C-alpha cells in the first residue's frame, strides 16, 4: 500500500476529500501536517468516519527562517516514509531545503503557467482569459513553477461572478486532485 502525507493550512476541504476518496482503498494517508494550530482542517481527522488520520502541527511562526522551518518539516515528513507528499492548500513558499528532499505535488487554482501565487483565483477571474481551471504540478524551487502533471478547465460564462467562478474551481479540485494522486501512485 502506497503512503502519502498531506500538507494543508486552512479549512482542509481538499484534505478531507482526498481521505474520503482514497484512504484506505487506494493509498494510506499516514499523516496530515499543518503549519497552523487553528487550522479548521484538523477538525474531524480523529473521527471514526475518517478512520483516525494522524495529524501533526508544525507552526512556522516558531522558527527564525523559512529554511529552519523547512528543515524540521522535511524531518517530520521523512519520519512517515511517504511515497508522495501532497500540498492541498498549504500556504507556504517552500525553500530548496524542502524541494530538494521531498517528492511533492501541489494543487493550484489556475491554469499554469498563468496566475501564479496566492491570488490566483481572483487574477484568473479578472483576466481576459476565456477559460478558468486548475493545475496539479510537481513542487519545485520556483513558486508554482514545477512541471504540470494535469489540468482541468471550464469556459467562463458571460454572467460569471467571482463566487460562481470560485465554486467551479473547487468542484474541479475535488475531482482532479484525487485522480492525479491515484495515477502517480500507480506509476510508482
Helix/strand/coil for 22: helix
Confidence of residue 51 (pLDDT cuts 50, 70, 90): low
Note the pLDDT of residue 49: 58
* Active-site residue flag, 16: no
Sequence-separated (6 or more) residues with CB below 8 Å from residue 128: none
Distance of alpha carbon 128 from alpha carbon 118, whole angstroms: 19
pLDDT at 50 over 70: no
The C-alpha angle 145, 18, 177, rounded to 5 degrees, equals 35
Q: Set out the domains of the chain in order of their start, with CATH numbers.
A: 3-119+134-152+174-187 (3.40.50.170)
Q: Which of 16, 60, 108, 115 is catalytic?
A: 108
Which helix (H) or strand (E) segment holds residue 57: the answer is: strand 55-57
Dihedral through CA 98, CA 100, CA 102, CA 104, nearest 10?
90
**pLDDT tens, residue by residue, 52-107:** 789 999 999 999 999 999 999 999 999 999 999 999 999 999 999 999 999 999 99
Give the closest residue to 115 by CA, choosing from 85, 137, 87: 137
- pTM across the whole model: 0.94
**pLDDT tens, residue by residue, 8-38:** 999 999 999 999 999 999 999 999 999 999 9
Amino acid at each position: 500500500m502506497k503512503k502519502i502525507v498531506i500538507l494543508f493550512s486552512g479549512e482542509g476541504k481538499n484534505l478531507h476529500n482526498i481521505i474520503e476518496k482514497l484512504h484506505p482503498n487506494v493509498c494510506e494517508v499516514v499523516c496530515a501536517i499543518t503549519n497552523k494550530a487553528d487550522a479548521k482542517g484538523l477538525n474531524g481527522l480523529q473521527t471514526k468516519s475518517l478512520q483516525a488520520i494522524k495529524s501533526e502541527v508544525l507552526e512556522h511562526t516558531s522558527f527564525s527562517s523559512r529554511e529552519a522551518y523547512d528543515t524540521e518539516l522535511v524531518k517530520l515528513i521523512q519520519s512517515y516514509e511517504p511515497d508522495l507528499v501532497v500540498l492541498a492548500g498549504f500556504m507556504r513558499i517552500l525553500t530548496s531545503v524542502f524541494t530538494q528532499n521531498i517528492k511533492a505535488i501541489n494543487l493550484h487554482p489556475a491554469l499554469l503557467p498563468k496566475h501564479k501565487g496566492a491570488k490566483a483565483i481572483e487574477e484568473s477571474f479578472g483576466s481576459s482569459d476565456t477559460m478558468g481551471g486548475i493545475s496539479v504540478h510537481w513542487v519545485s524551487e520556483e513558486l508554482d513553477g514545477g512541471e504540470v502533471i494535469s489540468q482541468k478547465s471550464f469556459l467562463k460564462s458571460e454572467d460569471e461572478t467571482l463566487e460562481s467562478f470560485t465554486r467551479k474551481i473547487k468542484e474541479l479540485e475535488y475531482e482532479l486532485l484525487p485522480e492525479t494522486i491515484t495515477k502517480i501512485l500507480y506509476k510508482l
